[in-house]
Every structure is written in C-alpha cells, then in structure tokens.
Amino acid sequence: MLRPFFIFALMVSPILPNNDFKQDQLKYSRVRNAYKLKESTIKVLFQQKGIDYNSFEIFLRAFKKEKKLQLFAKSKKNEKFKLLKTYNFCMLSGKLGPKRKQGDLQVPEGFYHIDRFNPASSYHLSLGVNYPNKSDRISGNRNNLGGDIFIHGNCVSIGCIPITDDKIKELYVIAVEAKSKGQAKIPVHIFPAKMDVLPENKPELKPFWKNLKRGYDYFEKNKKLPKVTVDAGGKYIFGS
C-alpha cells in the first residue's frame, strides 16, 4: 500500500528530463550529424532571444496558405512564448481545408502534438503529428481517415509539411532537446492561413474555421497556449 507522503510526492513531482530519449536518438548517424552541424547555431539563436537552452519548451504553428511553419519557444520559468524562427514549406499538397480521409492529399487543420520522432525517415528526419485527433475522428471519414502526417525533410508532400533536409536538421535537434528536457507534448497548431481574416472562398468551412480562430486568437492575445479539448460534436473547446 502506498503511504500518503509517497502519493503526495508523486502528485507534485515535476516532469523530469528524459536523457535516455536523447541518447537513443543519438544512436542514429543522421541525428548525430544534425547535432554536429546545427547545435552551436541553435545555442546562439536561443541566447539572442533570451531563452534558456538548458530549460525550455517549444510550440509549432503552421499556416498553409502562407506556407510558413513558426517555431516558438520559452524558458520554463516564463509563461509567454517568443517567436524563435520561421521555416518555409518547401511545397504544399492539397488545398485549404481540413483532412477528412486517406488519399485526399490534405494537410490537416486543427490542434495537434508531436507523437513520434523518426531518426531514420525516408525524408531524412521527421516529426510525427498525431492526426487523426479526436476532432478528426468525429468529423472525418471514420473508416478511412488516413494517418502518417509528418513534418519532415526533402521537398515532397502528400499531406505532410516538408521543410528541406537542412531545416529539419535544426528543428529536429531543437525538438529532441525539448523532449529530453522534460516537455511531454510539443503542440502543433495547423491553420488554413493567418486567421486575422477568415478565408472567404469556402463558406461551407466557415464554422470550422471560426472554431479554429478562437484558438488562434487566444495565443495571439496571450502568447500562451490554450487548454484544448473536443466536445461530442468534434468542436474544439478552449480554456485558460
């Protein structure tokens, strides 16, 4: 039987660094090479932005129309994120609108997180996005949702976000460092476009995009991430 003090200690213990994860990643030559080529530049970037490289968290935000992937970071002791860097999509498949089934070539839209690291990817290095999420499973083609959506290297896409081999080296190292320093989930928010003004050419998607905009607006106002849940109808709910 667990004693009360031990239970309390488990409840209040912070998320601890995961050094085993980093060491496992460094078993792969592509990861070792990425560290060799990019880590010194990354450290300078963090120093310039005033972010503690020894204790930080990151957040990714993508805009399909603009073909931009933004990387935000913050020291763990701080509440607000800062824009660290912006990467260009090398290419984009599909069109504006969510992914609803396998083979539609769509890049998903919604609120996700990185759920896997692939150090031996067919596209150099890759970070897996947890599509389909709960909202997708409710709103999409439930029997044929597809999957395997990644942020990766190279310059090809059938629903993924490619940023070239050179840029994925840098982003992959930063993501490995964030996870190894204790970040359990790296959020990834994907929007059809910058949401200051909703796209007008698809009225059937306006309710969905208005829902996404609430999450976009929360971060724009606060530079903090909203707590995201999904209701029974597949709609995103945002809290502080």
What are the per-10-residue average pLDDT scores of the chain (240 residues)? 45 62 98 99 98 98 98 98 98 95 95 98 97 95 90 96 99 99 98 89 92 98 98 96
Catalytic annotation, pick one of 113, 124, 152, 189: 152
Q: Is residue 3 part of a domain?
A: no
Q: What is the pLDDT of residue 15?
A: 53
Q: What is the pLDDT of residue 3?
A: 52
CB-side neighbour CA atoms (13 Å) of 113: 14
Residue 45: name the closest of 13, 18, 83, 77 by CA: 83
- DSSP helix, strand, coil percent of the chain (3-state; round to 5): 35, 25, 40
Catalytic annotation, pick one of 90, 113, 124, 160: 160
160 is catalytic: yes
Burial annotation 174-213 (CB, 10 A radius, 16+ → b, else e): bbbbbbbbebeebbbbbbbbebeeeeeeeeebeebbebbb
90 is catalytic: no
Q: Is residue 32 part of a domain?
A: yes
- Give me the CATH number covering residue 61: 2.40.440.10
> CA-to-CA distance for 198 and 24, rounded, in angstroms?
43
Domain that holds residue 68: 16-198
Q: Is residue 204 part of a domain?
A: no
Report the DSSP beta bridge partners of residue 149.
129
Residue pair 226/219 in contact (Cβ under 8 Å)? The answer is yes
Q: What is the pLDDT of residue 201?
A: 79
Q: Is residue 48 part of a domain?
A: yes
Report the DSSP beta bridge partners of residue 88.
68
SS (H, E, C) 212-237: HHHHHHHHHHHCCCCEEEECCCCCEE
Q: Is residue 52 part of a domain?
A: yes
Q: Name the domain count of the chain.
A: 1
Q: What is the pLDDT of residue 197?
A: 83
| Global pTM value | 0.92
Residue type at 223 in one-letter notation? K
